[in-house]
């Protein structure tokens, strides 16, 4: 074995170890933002004891969704603290590949939304006429949700 081939063997081994370390190294990302929500009726009055649900998932890092429920206070207010996700790059690659198999219906990256229900009333956070879908930024969200009787646009999963 020549010194050149020995050196190339060491370089290949070092590169392999570095790649392995990189693939198993956990990376922390924001899973969902700090989200303040105010819930009001159609007349603008705050509603107490309504259930506000925060639903979130990072389609490029995991295969399950998460949710948290909070009850509004006397001002119709709830606060969700931000959540982070710490996952190895290899797991992120696998989750992204799984998501891609959904074809045109695939989702990638973090997504979060909030909606309200209780006492026959429902509502969802809306921005410019569309359901508010947080996709990684900003780190802080604020929503005012107007609830209505019957069936509002509620995300299903």
* Class of residue 9 by CB neighbours under 10 A (exposed 0-12, middle 13-18, buried 19+): exposed
pLDDT, residue 156, reads 47
State which residues of the chain have pLDDT below 70: 1-4, 18-23, 92, 95-96, 99, 102, 104-106, 151-157
Contact in structure between 32 and 65 (CB atoms under 8 Å): no
Q: Top-level CATH class of 29-149?
A: mainly beta
pLDDT, residue 154, reads 52
| pLDDT tens track for 80-92 | 999 998 877 777 6
Within 8 A by CB and 6+ apart from 98, the residues are 63
Contact in structure between 143 and 113 (CB atoms under 8 Å): no
| pLDDT tens track for 112-121 | 999 999 999 9
pTM beyond 0.85: no
Q: Which ranges in the chain belong to alpha helices (H)?
A: 3-24, 89-100
pLDDT, residue 14, reads 74
């Amino acid at each position: 074995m020549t010194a050149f081939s020995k050196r190339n063997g060491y370089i290949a081994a070092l590169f392999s170890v570095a790649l392995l370390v990189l693939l198993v190294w956990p990376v922390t990302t924001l899973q969902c933002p700090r989200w303040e929500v105010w819930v009001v009726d159609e007349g603008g009055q705050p509603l107490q004891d309504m259930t506000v649900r925060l639903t979130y998932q990072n389609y490029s890092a995991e295969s399950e969704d998460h949710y948290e429920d909070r009850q509004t206070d006397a001002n119709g207010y709830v606060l969700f603290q931000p959540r982070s996700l710490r996952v190895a790059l290899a797991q992120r690659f696998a989750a992204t590949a799984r998501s891609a198999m959904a074809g045109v219906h695939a989702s990638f990256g973090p997504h979060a939304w909030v909606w309200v229900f209780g006492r026959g009333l429902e509502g969802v956070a809306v921005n410019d006429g569309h359901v508010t879908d947080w996709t990684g930024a900003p780190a802080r969200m604020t929503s005012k949700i107007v609830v209505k009787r019957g069936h509002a646009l509620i995300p299903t999963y």
